[in-house]
């Protein structure tokens, strides 16, 4: 009788996890993108706080010639702890929102602490992180009306600056693997929309794509994914996340629903919060440890 009870208990415990595992899909890279956020463990307390006595990365400013805009443009670059130019690195391009610039992540989201801590815990592949200015226009500062049509249009123009100017500059001036398997593109809000718009269009350039709290600049999934099977076979990771109380949740939710219906493997994480920095820090924490693996 006792044995029977243990058996019943075991079955009761196993059945839900079995059915859960069956509902997930596996892509070619061994990543298991689930259609729910069920197994994504929220970032632990202190994940974005300064931790003393660990090795730290460095941040530098770089300038590159933009043939797209016709002038020199600036970006920030984080190199990881123990950076050694005789090694070869992956590259993550991390894009800002409508009111931001190349400093927004660094000033508001603690990416240095997040990344340094993840390296200290041995959870990251070696990568450099590039923080561009995603507003590709002559005066790219977030001043005046940040919603002005020319400024919003410059977020679209950035596709050409990124592909034709910045990525080649990084490939030629940093010790990086210059191919799609070793390049990731992610961003917050306008930058999330850009990551989906440019990343899914240029899977020959980026195969790890992350979109945090994507803005309405996001094109439709049917536009970006005309051939779901082909997209699925090329992608290493498509990450979508958003705060549950974000006024722009509908953008991410619609995109998730569409890629779900297309059977394109992806991860969907409904985070706690609104359209705010803590959700983007959390997005970086989750995304960074899943790329280049």
Select the residue interacting with ligand FER from 33, 57, 80, 97 (CB under 6 A).
97
- Nearer CB in complex with ligand FER: 46/216: 216
Query: Pattern of binders to ligand FER over 103-122, x per CB under 6 A?
Result: --------------------
Q: Are strands 58-66 and 71-79 parallel, antiparallel or unpaired?
A: antiparallel
Q: Is 281 in the site for ligand FER (CB under 6 A)?
A: no
Q: Is 77 in the site for ligand FER (CB under 6 A)?
A: no
Select the residue interacting with ligand FER from 197, 217, 218, 286 (CB under 6 A).
217
Select the residue interacting with ligand FER from 75, 95, 176, 190 (CB under 6 A).
190
65-82 as b/e, with b when 16 or more CB fall inside 10 Å?
Answer: ebebbeeebebbbbbbee
Least distance (Å) from ligand FER to the CB of residue 195?
Answer: 12
Q: Which residues contact 232 (CB under 8 A, 6 or more apart)?
A: 27, 263, 264, 265
φ, ψ for residue 187, nearest 5 deg = -170, 170
Euclidean distance between CA atoms 231 and 179, whole angstroms: 17
Radius of gyration for the alpha carbons in the chain, expressed in angstroms and rounded: 20
Q: Is 154 in the site for ligand FER (CB under 6 A)?
A: no
Least distance (Å) from ligand FER to the CB of residue 98?
Answer: 3
Question: Helix-strand-coil percent breakdown of the chain, rounded to 5?
Answer: 40, 20, 45
Least distance (Å) from ligand FER to the CB of residue 144?
Answer: 16
Least distance (Å) from ligand FER to the CB of residue 201?
Answer: 18
Select the residue interacting with ligand FER from 31, 40, 98, 238 (CB under 6 A).
98
DSSP string, 15-49: HHHHHHHHHS---TTS----SSSTTPPPPPTTTTS
Tell me which residues touch ligand FER (CB under 6 A): 97-98, 152, 189-190, 215-217
């Amino acid at each position: 009788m006792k044995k029977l009870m243990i058996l019943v208990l075991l079955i009761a415990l196993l059945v839900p996890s079995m059915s859960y595992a069956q509902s997930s899909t596996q892509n070619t890279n061994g990543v298991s993108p689930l259609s729910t956020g069920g197994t994504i463990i929220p970032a632990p307390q202190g994940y974005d706080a300064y931790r003393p006595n660990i090795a730290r990365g460095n941040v530098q400013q770089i300038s590159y010639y933009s043939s797209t805009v016709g002038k020199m443009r600036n970006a920030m670059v984080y190199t990881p702890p123990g950076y050694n130019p005789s090694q070869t690195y992956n590259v993550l391009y991390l894009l800002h929102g409508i009111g931001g610039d190349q400093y927004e992540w660094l000033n508001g989201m603690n990416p240095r602490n997040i990344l340094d801590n993840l390296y200290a815990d041995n959870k990251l592949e070696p990568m450099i992180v590039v923080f561009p200015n995603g507003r590709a226009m002559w005066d790219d500062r977030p001043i005046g009306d940040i919603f002005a049509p020319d400024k919003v249009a410059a977020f679209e123009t950035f596709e050409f600056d990124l592909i034709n100017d910045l990525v080649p500059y990084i490939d030629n001036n940093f010790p990086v693997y210059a191919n799609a398997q070793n390049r990731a593109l992610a961003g917050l809000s306008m930058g999330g929309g850009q990551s989906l718009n440019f990343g899914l269009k240029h899977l020959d350039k980026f195969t790890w794509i992350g979109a945090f709290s994507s803005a309405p600049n996001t094109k439709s999934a049917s536009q970006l994914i005309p051939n779901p099977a082909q997209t699925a076979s090329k992608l290493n990771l498509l990450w979508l996340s958003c705060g549950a109380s974000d006024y722009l949740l509908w953008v991410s939710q619609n995109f998730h629903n569409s890629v779900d219906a297309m059977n394109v493997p992806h991860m969907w994480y409904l985070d706690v919060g609104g359209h705010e920095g803590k959700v983007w820090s959390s997005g970086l924490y989750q995304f960074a440890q899943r790329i280049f693996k």
